[in-house]
Amino acid sequence: MRRFLWPLGVFALLVVVLVVGLVHAPDKGVIHSPLLGKNAPDFSLPNLSPGAAAVTGAQLKGGWHLVNVWGTWCFECRNEHPALLQIQQQGRVPIIGIDWKDEDESARSWLQQLGDPYAAIGTDHDGRVAIDWGVYGAPESFLVDPAGTVVEKWVGAMTPEIWQQKFLPHLALPVGSGS
């Protein structure tokens, strides 16, 4: 019987160490993006506005941009929408939307009802561009500097607090300084 107590004790100690480590991990819940510090993906998407020019990665150079991946099917996207409208009203950065795996008419109707914070919206019907951005699920937001470098990422609904704490400080930094 004693020969089973030793392995059981070691196992219990290992479980305790792992649980304590997970509870106290500083980056718990943070998903790091391999894009941080790298050029934003090059893409070309049809514009949600009929007849308008395609939305491309080249548009992300020359100024700060917030790229927001969303869809009408996404419950959290509806929750974050007022924050995006506030950011747009501040006029600090244009917001480029990537409407992910959505129906164009649903998206147009949704924006007409709730307001349109986007300077341009590309429609990513098959989800390939979202994959290039490393999107796990909508909503996700990326801050791109004037050089076209991704300097911040947020997974989940954007809030005024997240905007103030994680994104806005980057706008005061010189281009290319990262974070």
Domain count for the chain, please give it: 1
Task: Flag whether 28 is in a domain.
Answer: no
Pull the structure tokens for residue 129.
């561009």
Task: Flag whether 19 is in a domain.
Answer: no
CATH number of the domain where residue 65 is located: 3.40.30.10
Domain that holds residue 64: 34-171
Q: Can you give the pLDDT at residue 29?
A: 47
Per-residue pLDDT of the chain (179 residues; tens, 9 = 90+): 666 667 766 666 666 666 666 566 555 445 566 788 899 999 999 999 999 999 999 999 999 999 999 999 999 999 999 999 999 999 999 999 999 999 999 999 999 999 999 999 999 999 999 999 999 899 999 999 999 999 999 999 999 999 999 999 999 765 555 54
Q: Can you give the pLDDT at residue 37?
A: 87
Task: Flag whether 21 is in a domain.
Answer: no
For residue 129, give Cα distances in angstroms to 4, 45, 62, 68.
Answer: 54, 8, 21, 12
Bridge-based pairing of strands 44-45 and 150-155 is: unpaired
